[in-house]
Structure formats: C-alpha cells, structure tokens
Amino acid sequence: MLGGAGHHLVLKTNDVGEDADDNERSAWRWTGADAVSAPRQTIMLTAVQPAPAAQTQVSSAAAQAIGLSGVEIAFRLANGGRFEAVAPTDLVVREGEFVAVVGPTGCGKSTLLNAAAGLLKPSAGSVRIFGEELSGLNDKAGYLFQQDSLMPWKTVLDNVSIPLTIAGTPRRGAEERAREWLARVGLSAFGDRYPHMLSGGQRKRVGLAQVLIRNPRILLMDEPFGPLDAQTRVIMGGLLLDLWSAQRKAVMFVTHDLEEAIALSDRVVIMSAGPRARIIGDYVIPIARPREIADVRLDPLFHDIHREIWNALKEEVVKGYRQTNGLPA
C-alpha cells in the first residue's frame, strides 16, 4: 500500500459466486491510500489476500522493464511561455506486465509513452529501462502507433520483414520469419498484397507482426485499435492477448477506452486532466487469465472494477472536455 492512511473495503460475498468457500468470500478486497493525505491514490483489487506492504513493492530495479522517476514534461510556447504538460510522475511497468494508461484527451498519456520510447526527453526526472538510464531511442521497445506505419509501395510480406532486413538479416531468412509471423496473426494468404488492399483490422495485424518480429522486450502501444470498429477492436484485443500470453513482454498500452483497458491489463493507471497532469489512480485487475475478451466484459467483477475506476476518472474526463472546448474547468 502506498501513500497515507490506508483503508479496506470488502466487497459483497455474492460477488465471488455461490460456490465460494469462506476464505474466498473474504478475499475480494479493495485497498488503497487516502487520496486526501497522498498526492497519488493507489487502489488494489485482488482475488487473493493482499501481501504485506514490503512484498508488494518492486524488489529491485532489475524487475522493472520501464521505470519513470519524477518525470516532468514541459514545452516552450511560441510566445516564450512554458506549458507544463505532465507534473513530476513516477510509474513502473514490470517485466511481463501489461499496464494500460487511461485519461482524458490531452492529459499526457502519449507524452509519457514517448518519454519511455526515448522520442521525447523529459524536462526533469529520469527514465530507466531494465534498470539502465535511457539516453536516446529505446532499442528494447517496439512501438505500435494509432496510425498505420506501413509502406504503401511494399507488399505485406516486405513490410513485415523490413525490421529484420534493416538489422542485416539476409533477405531469404527475413522473409521466412515474416511468413511465420503472418501465420501467427492469421494472414498467411496475404503476403503478396499491398496495404491498400487490406481492411483496417488486417493492417493492424500486419503492424503487430512488423513490431513483434524484432522480438522486443517491451511493447509501447498508443491507442493502436482506436480507428477500428467495435467488433474488430474485440478481435484485435483477443489476438494481442494471445500473442502477449505466449511471450509475456512488458506492455505500456495507452487508450481512451476504459473497458478495453480493464479487459486487457494487469494494471490500469489513470491520469488527471492537464495541464500538469498526474497519475491519480493505479488499479490492479484481479480477473483471471487467460481471458476471453468478449466474455470477460459480462463478468460481474468486471462491472465492479469498471464502476470503481470510472468513479475516480469521470470528473477528470469532464474537466478535460471542458478545457478542450475552451470552457472553464
């Protein structure tokens, strides 16, 4: 438990099902730090008895795939002023952990992701990758953007094999690996097609294969399924979880979709509206894995978690909307 005086709320026993024994009925707990006495609220929803505080902390820097410490990000304005986008922020993504970052439009979610990628240098604080301070681009990460990054003049096979050929892999070997990855994402028959011949979901599959073929230890994902329709998002979420479960890479996943965040993640981190956005909640998601994306949203526990997080987030979403439209917060 982090922050000031903690508190516990035991959920109703019928939330765990009629067949649960007495130990299981007492196990569902909501724990967290008092939001008034601490600048950051940390909430844990867990299906087991919470471990002692000392055991819940990160044991060493080596366990941290991404470590943001006091990261502050500000930009110079044309009039010489300074816009403080993100207030000093701490965030850890452990090895093998899937962490989603959710918050209002313009709160700095993608800005933090870019700092973890090495695309943006923080104004203050440090970014550590597997315990080492990041300077320059993060070569241990693969980055999947919201917009397609496929080369339209190249075939699907060529697009997927590009990261390997750039790294010096002989063309034949790169194409063989690319075919393997196209099979993993269900596009074995599409290698000779061009991006404009594919649907939005198919292009996202190609993008996933293109990123994963390098075997990065970290995946950075900036609203990768945002442009897709609801049904295709569910399919892509399921595919992503299947691929992630096979290798358990560290994932930092930015999204506006709270349901998507809960369905996919081990933890959901929520941010306040800007300027000087900050992390205001850190929720551990106790839903068992493996998960079926379409079915997990029907679980009563899913709705309990969604309600808790949304209650903390909705005021910030309204504030962000008003700011975007030039209205007083």
Q: Would you kindly state where each structural domain of the chain is located, as residue ranges?
A: 1-57, 61-140+216-301, 148-214
Contact 66, 269 (CB under 8 A): no
The fold for domain 61-140+216-301 equals: Rossmann fold (3.40.50)
The string of DSSP letters for 125-181 reads EEEEETTEE--SS-TTEEEE-SS----TTS-HHHHHHHHHHHTT--HHHHHHHHHHH
For residue 216, give the nearest of 109, 273, 138 by alpha carbon.
138
Tabulate helix, strand, coil % of the chain (nearest 5).
35, 25, 40
What is the C-alpha separation between 249 and 303, in angstroms, rounded? 27
- Confirm if 194 and 155 have CB atoms less than 8 A apart: yes
- Residues forming a β-bridge with 170: none
- Partners of 141 in the beta sheet? 218
Report residue 83 as tokens: 């816009």
Q: Give every strand in the sheet of 250-255, ordered side by side.
A: 6-10, 29-33, 43-46, 279-284, 267-271, 98-102, 250-255, 218-222, 141-144
Taking alpha carbons only, the member of 25, 37, 267 closest to residue 7 is 37
Q: What's the pLDDT at 327?
A: 61
Angle CA 226–229–231, to nearest 5: 120
Taking only the tens place, the pLDDT of each residue in 238-292 is 999 999 999 899 999 999 999 999 999 999 999 999 899 999 999 999 999 999 9
Q: Is the pLDDT assigned to residue 80 strictly greater than 80?
A: yes
Give the helix/strand (H/E) hosting 17: none
**pLDDT tens for residues 28-42?**
333 333 333 334 444
At 289 the pLDDT is 93
Is the Cα dihedral 196, 200, 205, 207 positive or negative?
positive
Name the strands in the sheet holding 64-76, side by side, starting at the edge strand that comes first in the sequence. Answer: 82-94, 64-76, 124-129, 132-133
More confident residue, 323 or 237: 237
**Averaged pLDDT for residues 305-320:** 91
Token pair recorded at residue 189:
């028959």
Contact 143, 211 (CB under 8 A): yes
Q: What is the pTM of this model?
A: 0.81
Does the pLDDT value for residue 192 go beyond 80?
yes
- What are 96's two structure tokens? 């093998």
Cβ-proximal residues to 122 (8 Å cutoff; 6+ apart), any chain: 71, 72, 73, 115
pLDDT confidence bin for 298, thresholds 50/70/90: very high
128 phi and psi angles, rounded to 5 deg: -115, 135
Angstrom distance (rounded) from CA 70 to CA 227: 32
What pLDDT, on the 0 to 100 scale, is given for residue 45?
53
Average pLDDT (158-170) is 95
